[in-house]
Structure 1
Amino acid sequence: MLNIVIPAYEPDNKLLTLIDSLKSRPDFGRELNILIVNDGSSPNYNRIFSEAARKGCSLLTHEKNLGKGAALKTAFSHLIETGYQGFIVCADCDGQHRPEDVEKVAASLPGNTNSLVLGCRDFVGKVPLKSRLGNLLTGAIYSFISGQNLKDTQTGLRAFSSELLPWLVSIKGSRYEYEMNQLLEAKGAHVKLCCVPIETVYENKNSGSHFHPVRDSIRIYLPILKYLLSSLMAGGIDFILLFLFMKLSDSLLFSVIAARVISSAVNFFCNKILVFEKKELSLKESLVKYYLLAAFILLCNYTLIHSFTYVVHMPLLAGKILTEIILFFFGYQIQRLYIFRKEYA
């Protein structure tokens, strides 16, 4: 048995068309259960969900709209509670996923039991500009953060085995950022990401999507934004304290060390509690790792600036800026993967 999970918020007849298409496919259609989560749709859409239930789909309902991530986790929790053992495919309800692509992604699962299989689009043909730019930007940020390249970070067509359900339920996020968090958490959970090529489909310029370009993009990029703000705040504290201690002590060495110790401690606690939200981790162990990283980054800072300035012959300002950009993303990745990493059973 295969479970198809479809989160749905105020869907149109495309959902019913997808259900019919999936169930009518030879062999594939007879072996699946379709689990739909009504994510707080208004009563005007009851007809769609009633018809889906009549067609044999299982239905879960949120009393109010909680977001795509919450809808997916409701379905995953239900599968855990019912003791389901098998494969799961998540698909969208807006007509972006062809039934043959759903079947194609599902067919790749037997050899990938510890993998998250992604249906990856090529973004060729008539693709809405906001969708093309959104995927490029998200892909670039994901690549910087994780050190991995993915052709399609925003795909909703994803497949996995029931073994991954406890991990998927534990991932933070209730709306569109949840799917990005899956990708960001995968390496730390030893989950392999696999791409299966699918067709790029955007009907009526993707008018059926409930994705809000500004609000939901902020949620997706929030982890890196919080890290940036934490770093900027620590830098500002370091700058102010340097001059304050110089005025009080007239010792440059003391001022540099004291300012850096205080500012780095602020940065550590901000990252632990607010950025990576790992309050449960051992303070002693994570603090030691953090300061070892800080020492290594300080060494890298000098080495890179020296190389850019004296070997590549870049202007000092340009070399400094490039160095800080490189070490910013390097520091984020190391902290996320090793210092503030959450281990999964």
Structure 2
Amino acid sequence: MRRMSPAPVSDTWLVIPLFNEATVVADVIAEARETFPHIVCVDDASTDDSGAVARAAGAVVVTHPFNLGQGAALQTGVDYALTATDAAYIVTFDADGQHRVVDAEAMVERAREEDLAIVFGSRFLDGRTKPGWLRRIILKGAVWITNQQTGLRLSDAHNGLRVIRRDAAGALHLEQNRMAHATEIVLQLSRTKLPWAEHPVHIVYTDYSRAKGQSLMNSVNILIDTILK
């Protein structure tokens, strides 16, 4: 896919939570590093060799000794970017190939051009993403609950592709380790009162993710965890 710009985005770090994605993560990292040379993967106690594969592909790898959940992995990655680097922006990005690098790049550029502290990716702002009717209903239900809890009006509150400027990232102190962390991120970022926007992105439901059964089950888990939060 054609890059938006020829130069690497050197002031941005990708934070990638990582759990048992050894078969795909090397390709995800290789593609992302063409645009974003700085990537930290947080290996959340994978039982395969995900961490070693990610490190060999060029990412910095931080390892949890025990499985703590995606929320904890994101917090570890954000903490690393804030304390060990001079990143101006942090991008949260999935390890399974469902997020597109070109969307992440466009979101960083928009944050820069419009002086935005947060850019939330949304699969529901255009018609490119085809989540299926059941997944759409579940995700829309979770969005409604999240909007009631946070006071924001998002169309896709549980999209893992986000751009967070350094000052906003400093406000994140995630305690919800399961899927409810997505609502917690929105809530904590909303409290900063910093400027934000949504940006249309294309979520690619791959054969790999469908084979793992994670897309629909994640949607169900999002709804359950959001209700129980």
Q: TM-score, normalised by structure 1?
A: 0.56
1:116, CA displacement in angstroms? 1.6
Taking the TM superposition and a 5 Å limit, the aligned residue runs for 1:93-172 are 93-111=95-113, 115-122=117-124, 124=127, 126-168=130-172, 170-172=173-175
The alpha-carbon distance between structure 1 residues 206 and 108, as it changes in their structure 2 partners (threshold 3 A), is: farther
Residue type matched to 1:189 in 2?
Answer: T
Is the CA contact 2:131–2:205 (under 8 Å) kept in the aligned structure 1? yes
Structure 1 counterpart of 2:191, from 176, 188, 213: 188
Is the CA contact 1:186–1:192 (under 8 Å) kept in the aligned structure 2? no
Structure 1 counterpart of 2:45, from 32, 40, 43: 40
CA distance in 1, matches of 2:78, 2:205: 27
Is the CA contact 2:139–2:223 (under 8 Å) kept in the aligned structure 1? no
1:15, CA displacement in angstroms? 1.8
Is 2:220 aligned against 1:218? Answer: no
Residue type matched to 1:102 in 2?
Answer: A
> Which protein is bigger by CA-based radius of gyration?
1
Please list every run of 5 or more consecutive structure 1 residues that lacks an aligned counterpart in the other structure.
224-345
Please list every run of 5 or more consecutive structure 2 residues that lacks an aligned counterpart in the other structure.
1-9
Residue type matched to 1:10 in 2?
Answer: N
Aligned-residue sequence identity (percent) comes to: 24
Taking the TM superposition and a 5 Å limit, the aligned residue runs for 1:274-313 are none
CA distance in 2, matches of 1:71, 1:147: 26
Structure with greater helix share of residues: 1
Partner of 1:176: 179
CA distance in 2, matches of 1:34, 1:202: 23
The Cα offsets for residues 220-242 of structure 1, whole Å up to 9 and x where unpaired, read as: 2224xxxxxxxxxxxxxxxxxxx
Partner of 1:67: 69
- Greater relative contact order, per chain length (Cα 8 Å cut-off, separation 6+): 2
- Give the secondary-structure state (helix, strand or coil) at the position aligned to 1:164: helix
Is the CA contact 2:25–2:53 (under 8 Å) kept in the aligned structure 1? no
CA RMSD across the alignment: 2.4
- Give the secondary-structure state (helix, strand or coil) at the position aligned to 1:59: strand
User: Aligned pairs, how many?
Assistant: 214
The Cα offsets for residues 66-124 of structure 1, whole Å up to 9 and x where unpaired, read as: 10000011112222332534111110111111121122222222245552211111274
1:129, CA displacement in angstroms? 4.1
The Cα offsets for residues 134-188 of structure 1, whole Å up to 9 and x where unpaired, read as: 21101222233344321111100001122223211x2431222111112123332
Q: TM-score, normalised by structure 2?
A: 0.82
1:207, CA displacement in angstroms? 4.2
Structure 1 counterpart of 2:81, from 61, 76, 79: 79
The alpha-carbon distance between structure 1 residues 149 and 22, as it changes in their structure 2 partners (threshold 3 A), is: same
- Give the secondary-structure state (helix, strand or coil) at the position aligned to 1:110: helix
The alpha-carbon distance between structure 1 residues 20 and 85, as it changes in their structure 2 partners (threshold 3 A), is: closer
CA distance in 2, matches of 1:171, 1:128: 30
The alpha-carbon distance between structure 1 residues 193 and 222, as it changes in their structure 2 partners (threshold 3 A), is: farther
